[in-house]
Structure 1
Amino acid sequence: MKILTCLLILFLLYIFCILPRFTHRRESRSFRHILFAHRGLFSNEKGIPENSLPAFSRAVSKGYGIELDVQLTKDQQLVVFHDSTLSRMCGLDIHVREKTYEQLKELTLLHTKEQIPLFSQVLKLVDGQVPLLIEIKLPCFSTSTCALVDKAMAGYKGSYCIESFNSLALFWYRVHRPDVVRGQLSSNLTRPVAEGGYLLSFLVKHLLTNVLSRPDFISYCYKDTNNISFCILRSLLGTMTMVWTIRSQKAYERCLNRYDSLIFDNFIPHS
C-alpha cells in the first residue's frame, strides 16, 4: 500500500511539473493554424540565406508567419542569427557573443552579399504584416537578452510570441511580461541546452521545467513527438502544440491535422 501511495504521489508530482498555463488559451489561439517559415523563407539555391532580410521579405510576400532567432553580441546588440558560432554561416569559428556588431557587419552569410541583421531591422521590415515566432537564444543563466528583446518589442504593433529551449527565458516572461504568449522548445535533446548541462537538457526534453515556466504552447521536433510528456499535454490537457522543422510535403501532410501550427523550411507547402 505504501508503495502504491508513493507511486501515486510521484505521478501527481510529475503531472504538476509538466502542466502548462491555462489562463491564456484565448490569446494563444491567435497563433494556431499558422505556417511559420523557419528562419524566414530562405533558399540557398536562390542565394537567399537563412535569417537574412531577403528571407524575411520573401516570407512576408507569401503571407507566412516568420520564425527567427535572436541573440546578443559582445556589445549587447540584438542580432538575428541561429548558431552560437559563426562557422557554418560565415566561415569563422568563433561565438557570436564574442564579436561586436560592427565586427559582425564585416561578415557575409554563405558567400552572399547579405549580412547578419539587427533585430530592429527585421522588425522594421516585417512591420506587423505577419506573425512572429521569436526564439530567444540563451546559452547561459543570464536573462538580459529577454529584457532587451522585450524593450525592442515595446513599440511593435504586430502579433508575436516567444519561445526558447532555455526555460529561464520563459520564466523571465512569466514574471515580467505575463501578457506575452510563451512556448517551450524541446526535442529528444542530445546536447546541453545551456550552462545547466545535461541535467537541464533532460528536464527540458521531458518538459519537467514547465513547473518553472508554465508555457502556453509546446514547440517540439515532429520526429520526437512520441515523448510521453508531450503526448499527455497534447492529448489529455489540450495544450497548444507546434512542431518543427517540416522539410517535405509528405511530412507536412502527416502533421497538418495533428498539430496546431507548423514550422517549415526548404520547400513550399501545398494544401
Structure 2
Amino acid sequence: MSSTEFLTRRPIAHRGLHDERARRMENSPSAFEAACLRDFAIELDVQLSADNMAIVFHDETLDRLTDQTGPLAGRTAAELGRVKLGDTSDLIPTLAETFALIDGRVPVVVEMKDNGPRNIALAGAVAADLAGYAGPAAVMSFAHDLLSAFRDTDSAVPLGLTAEGIGTPAFVEHEKALAQSISFVSYHVKALPNPFVARVREELGLPVITWTVRTPEDVAATRDYADQMTFEGFDPDI
C-alpha cells in the first residue's frame, strides 16, 4: 500500500460517525467507535489546550457543543477532560486518548485548526502524539503556517492541504501550499470541478478527498472529480 492509499480505500466519516439522535456528538469517542465498527475512516479536528495538549474539538469556544462557555484554549487538558459533550456521557478527548481508542482499526485524518500564534505549538503537539501511534494517519490544515510548522517537526506522516474556493486568487494561494511537499488535498465538494484539483490529480498524481459530502449531488461530484469523500448525515454504503 502506498503512503496515502489508506485515504481513499473507504469513505471518511466527518468528525466521526456522529448522530445526535443516537447520542453520538461530533468529535466524540462514541462517534469514533461507531465509525470503527463500520470500517469508515475518521476525520477529526484538533485545537490546543492551555497546557499545549492536542484536544479533539472543532470550535474555538465550548459554547456550541457543551454546557460550558468560553475559549477552549483557556483550559487545561485535564479540565477539558471533565467537560461533557452535549447531553451525553462522552467527555472531550485528547488526541492521544483518541488514538488509543481507534488503535489502528481505521485510518485517521487529523485537521489542525488555525490557532494563530500558537500554531507552532499545536503542530508540535500533534506530531508528538503521532510519533507514538502505529495506525494509518494523515494530517491536514487550511493554514499554511500550520503546514510549515508540521513539516518542520520532521514527522513522516502524510501532510495535506484543506482548501476551498474558485478563481485565480484562491488557486494562487493553494499553489503556494504545494511547496510544503504535501501528499494530498482535501477540497470543498461544492467547488468541483476546478483547474487546481485537476492539476493536483492529473499532473502531480496526488489524491483528492472532498468535504463535506451530504447529498447525492455531492457524492456524484466526488466520484467524477475526486478520489474519496468525507461524508456526514447519511450512510455511504447504502
Match of 1:209 among 160, 172, 176: 176
8 A Cα contact 1:220 1:242, kept in partner: yes
Q: How many aligned positions are there?
A: 235
Q: How do residues 214-225 of structure 1 correspond to structure 2 at under 5 angstroms?
A: 214-225=181-192
Report the TM-score when normalising by structure 2.
Answer: 0.88
Match of 2:147 among 170, 175, 179: 170
In the superposition, relative to structure 1, how do residues 204 and 125 fare at CA in structure 2: closer, same or farther (>3 Å)? farther
Q: For 1:82-106, what per-residue CA distance to the aligned partner results, in whole angstroms no more than 9, with x for missing partners?
A: 1112121125442211122333234
In the superposition, relative to structure 1, how do residues 88 and 135 fare at CA in structure 2: closer, same or farther (>3 Å)? same
Q: Distance in 2 between matches of 1:156 and 1:222?
A: 30
Indicate the larger mover: 73-82 or 139-148.
139-148
Indicate the larger mover: 89-98 or 45-54.
89-98
Match of 1:42 among 18, 34, 37: 18
Higher relative contact order (CA 8 A, sep 6+): 1
Q: Distance in 2 between matches of 1:255 and 1:226?
A: 9
Q: How do residues 213-252 of structure 1 correspond to structure 2 at under 5 angstroms?
A: 213-252=180-219
Q: How do residues 65-214 of structure 1 correspond to structure 2 at under 5 angstroms?
A: 65-141=41-117, 142-177=119-154, 179-188=156-165, 206-214=173-181
The Cα shift of 1:204 comes to 7.5
The Cα shift of 1:38 comes to 0.7
Q: Distance in 1 between matches of 2:98 and 2:222?
A: 29
The Cα shift of 1:49 comes to 0.3
Identical positions, percent:
28
Q: Distance in 1 between matches of 2:194 and 2:72?
A: 32
Indicate the larger mover: 41-50 or 240-249.
240-249
User: 2:32 corresponds to which residue?
Assistant: 56
Instruction: Give unmatched runs, 5+ long, in structure 2.
Output: none
